[in-house]
Structure 1
């Protein structure tokens, strides 16, 4: 029998199933991430049911990547040693068949991180997740944003995202007011979230880790990225409803990531959150 073709747009049952799988399997996510966001990233992973590990040194990164359930490579704060560890970890993950996610933070505007991130594409990330400017910068279609902030609209990055997807064979997720995930000929838009997510240090970087957690429990990388973005966005809405401002929102978001379950995600899909 031939392989079963993935649906163009994930359904409620598929999204619920992967959310249940994350809770049940507790995937170990190896995070090589930036020093600003380690705590919120670890807490976000724990809240959705995954297990975080922050192993970013050159002596251990490859060995750990080969046994972890999934790997996140985030180039937010990068130097020569971290870059070497990222190369080793991504290559080891690819060789071992472990899914890995590339988050090209501030790529396009700074030469060193841009070069490193483009080199990492050679290990064929299963998912690239970034804002519009970062995705365009990684693809060579733009000059980057203003630091970690995008200066391009999500829709403007679609061709760059599709180009990266063709080059890597993986999915590319572009975060914005409406998130867009592409994989080959498939394109899914995810609505929801709240502006306070953009005022919370590390929320986007933590999202990259959530994508890795979801990718650990399904072979459909588009489904993994869509479910993670939907989960983060719904949690953002719940957190905003009880928060007094950005500080309390950050705490409430972690609580909401824990509270959003498979049924809530399925209801959101049934309610038209995916387009």
Structure 2
């Protein structure tokens, strides 16, 4: 299923994406999913997350603003999603920055079968128990081989890995895609990575080929960012323009994909 079919199906089906995400990005994530054509819901309470995951088409687990109660909700929702068989996307925000985040990421990966892990190099390395340079909840590219890191994580956790950075890497442990879409201004706006995790969940909810759906999500997201930057005057106007461009995704955008395919 190509990008045109995925976007059309997404807008027709309006998949319900259940987000347990961080409070910093809730509004941006909801608006981004709505612009794309998905139906977002933000539900965190332990009393309802199992029920909500049970009616959702995909689940996003984001540990950006972490607490013990959030972890309990994540585990409950994740297990409910596994029982239903819907895609589960983990965004291990800041894993490696503190002991708590690192330990909770390991707990989540032990308790829940995730379909996709979306993170930067430092977060993915931390999930694997490897060293990487961290600064708060952000990480630089470091000195390691990012593709090798992504492949190792994909194989260890038996899932698709989306490793974002200047060049995004998407892999299922056998095939590796390098995607060069996007724009540096995205790093000046809080939540662009978190929203991508939710966009990947929306694409996964309607796609039949998990790896291709993830590649389409990342590349189309980057194309929308490139187009938005051309119509913006800085981070503030970029946010509005970016939402507009997500709502305008269409088949012609696929020609702008800067995607390289290789083997692991």
What are the equivalent positions in structure 2 for 1:85-100 lying under 5 Å apart? Answer: 85-100=73-88
**Aligned pair partner of 2:59 in 51, 63, 71:** 71
Say which is worse superposed, 220-229 or 156-165, in terms of deviation: 156-165
Q: What SS is found at the alignment partner of 2:32?
A: helix
What are the equivalent positions in structure 2 for 1:1-275 lying under 5 Å apart? Answer: 14-122=2-110, 123-143=112-132, 145-153=134-142, 156-261=145-250, 263-269=251-257, 272-275=258-261
Q: What SS is found at the alignment partner of 2:176?
A: strand
Partner deviation per Cα, 1:179-230 (whole Å, 9 max, x = no partner): 1001020111111111111101111101100000001012322122211111
Q: What SS is found at the alignment partner of 1:181?
A: strand
Q: What SS is found at the alignment partner of 1:216?
A: helix
So what's the TM-score if we normalise by structure 1? 0.90
Distance in 1 separating the partners of 2:79 and 2:69: 16
Unmatched segments (≥5 aa) in structure 1:
1-12
Give structure 1 regions of 4+ aligned residues with deviation exceeding 4 angstroms: none
So what's the TM-score if we normalise by structure 2? 0.94
Matched-pair contact (CA < 8 Å) for 1:153–1:176: no
Q: CA deviation at 1:154?
A: 9.1
Q: CA deviation at 1:54?
A: 0.1
RMSD of aligned residue pairs (Cα, Å): 1.6
Partner deviation per Cα, 1:148-183 (whole Å, 9 max, x = no partner): 322225962333322221132210000011110010
Q: CA deviation at 1:14?
A: 2.0
